[in-house]
Amino acid sequence: MPKDTVVKLAIATCTAPVNIAVVKYWGKRNEDLILPINSSLSVTLDQDQLKTTTTVASCRSFQEDRIWLNGKEEDINHPRLQSCLREIRRLARKRRSDGDSSVDVGCLSHKVHICSVNNFPTAAGLASSAAGFACLVYTLARVYGVEGELSGIARQGSGSACRSMYGGFVQWIMGEAEDGRDSVAQQVEPESHWPDLRVLVLVASAERKPVGSTSGMQTSVETSSLLKHRAESVVPGRMKQMIEAVRKRDFAAFADLTMRDSNQFHATCLDTYPPIFYLNTVSRQVIALVHQYNRHYGEARVAYTFDAGPNAVIYTLQQHVAEFLSVVRHFFPPDNNGKKFVTGLQVEHLGISEELKSAICLEPTPKGISYIISTKAGPGPRVLDDPSQHLLAADGLPKTSGPPPLGV
């Protein structure tokens, strides 16, 4: 546009993390407000390895709200996107009417352009919607001058997004109020609480899952009696045990609870009618590998969990990372096509003993795992202050390139 018509952008860019639940959320009691049938608890992962980056710009010259996700323009009228936009704008208007002069009056009537990119595969069971909606809400709040409790708004985009609003170990309290005002996330402990806890994401598939989480959990609520039992009789006690294990840094208890909860979640998927299969052959081999590895040492050294997808997330302690990764590399030999097999935090490459190899009764599965992301617990959303990191150019349209994806 000509120089004399250039209008100043209100712009902000933020990043938000992925979180991986160790006590799973599956099932809603209110579809519109995204209110869960049980509480849940997750670990927020470090953004140096897994994150969503979002830029939001507001300008009076914009003709309509627009959004670009991973380089492609998408429908801004998606109901969940609209819920988040509507709630942030409502809070901004309320702050302004309450006399807060820091809220830009003009911004309230302007349209927004949103550009968001993930540095990991979308919709493959890696909690992309959680990071995405947490980042959207956090960035919108910066542009509109909204502060305070934002997890309840992120929840209306994607339920587990509320947990990505905090770092470390986070619980999503299911709440009881019909309007959802008490269904919010709360930090249990910060990321610094358990410094030697490590996380390994074993990417068995980066393909879009055949049954999405939203439709899958709705079918489970309607058809699975096991899900009802889990929500009412199992999760309340398990939440207390998990919080205690985290606070005591009791890895044996943490590992046992994590694996049992993952197994029960997938059992409810099988109990759904018709059944839902998120795990694949490689997933089941990883489960067997973990149990045989732990049995060999007579203690829980590693724990697996699977969300709604085939990728395993492994929790372990720093002292066991190198050996376990060597075990994974042995039983899932990588494709030597130049792609880095382990990304993220550096890990020493160790050999493994013949005794350990023979203790694990599995046939190697070449190329079963595409790559591994080595990471740890990390902080909640962050603001990027460097203008060069904005994903939108001065004209409000996406720049040509964003952060490169991991594993390529």
Q: What is the mean pLDDT of the chain?
A: 92
Closest of 25, 24, 27 to residue 223, by C-alpha: 27
* pLDDT tens per residue, range 351-360: 899 999 999 9
Question: Do 226 and 363 belong to one domain?
Answer: yes
Torsion over CA of 399, 400, 401 and 402, rounded to 10 degrees? 30
Average pLDDT over residues 393-397: 96
Model pLDDT, residue 121:
64
Q: Output the six-digit token pair for 304.
A: 């697996």
Question: Do 353 and 291 belong to one domain?
Answer: yes
307 contacts 297 by C-beta, under 8 angstroms:
no
Question: Do 256 and 313 belong to one domain?
Answer: yes
Question: Do 289 and 367 belong to one domain?
Answer: yes
* pLDDT tens per residue, range 250-278: 999 999 999 999 999 999 999 999 999 99
In the chain, the percentage of residues whose pLDDT exceeds 90 is 82
Annotate 188-224 with DSSP letters as a single string.
EE-GGGSTTEEEEEEES--SPPSS-HHHHHHHHHHH-
Cα(127)–Cα(137) distance, integer angstroms? 16
Pairing of strands 169-172, 185-189: antiparallel
Per-residue confidence band for 338, with pLDDT thresholds at 50, 70 and 90:
low
User: What is the phi/psi pair of residue 94, to 5°?
Assistant: -65, -45
Residue 330 three-state SS: helix
User: Across-strand partners of 316?
Assistant: 198, 302
Per-residue confidence band for 45, with pLDDT thresholds at 50, 70 and 90:
very high
Domain range for 146 is 3-190+379-389
Amino acid identity of 13? T
Question: Do 101 and 26 belong to one domain?
Answer: yes
We report the CATH number of the domain holding residue 51 as 3.30.230.10
* pTM listed for this prediction: 0.93
Closest of 16, 111, 114 to residue 74, by C-alpha: 114
Cα(233)–Cα(242) distance, integer angstroms? 15
Task: With both helix axes pointing from N to C terminus, report the angle between 251-271 and 235-248 in degrees, rounded to the nearest 10.
Answer: 150
The owner of tokens 């209306």 is: 156
Question: Do 181 and 241 belong to one domain?
Answer: no
The owner of tokens 């079963």 is: 368
Question: Do 119 and 204 belong to one domain?
Answer: no
Question: Do 201 and 179 belong to one domain?
Answer: no
Q: Output the six-digit token pair for 140.
A: 């919108």
User: Across-strand partners of 398?
Assistant: 392
Question: Do 171 and 237 belong to one domain?
Answer: no
Average pLDDT over residues 338-360: 89
35 contacts 183 by C-beta, under 8 angstroms:
yes
Average pLDDT over residues 308-317: 95
Model pLDDT, residue 260:
98
Largest CA distance in the chain: 75
* pLDDT tens per residue, range 119-165: 876 544 566 899 999 999 999 999 999 999 999 999 999 999 999 99
Residue 395 located in a structural domain:
no
Average pLDDT over residues 196-220: 85
Question: Do 162 and 209 belong to one domain?
Answer: no
In the chain, the percentage of residues whose pLDDT exceeds 70 is 91
Q: Output the six-digit token pair for 185.
A: 């996330």
User: What is the phi/psi pair of residue 122, to 5°?
Assistant: -85, 140
Residue 406 located in a structural domain:
no
The DSSP H or E segment spanning 130 is helix 128-144
Question: Do 265 and 333 belong to one domain?
Answer: yes
Cα(123)–Cα(115) distance, integer angstroms? 18
User: What is the phi/psi pair of residue 212, to 5°?
Assistant: -65, 160
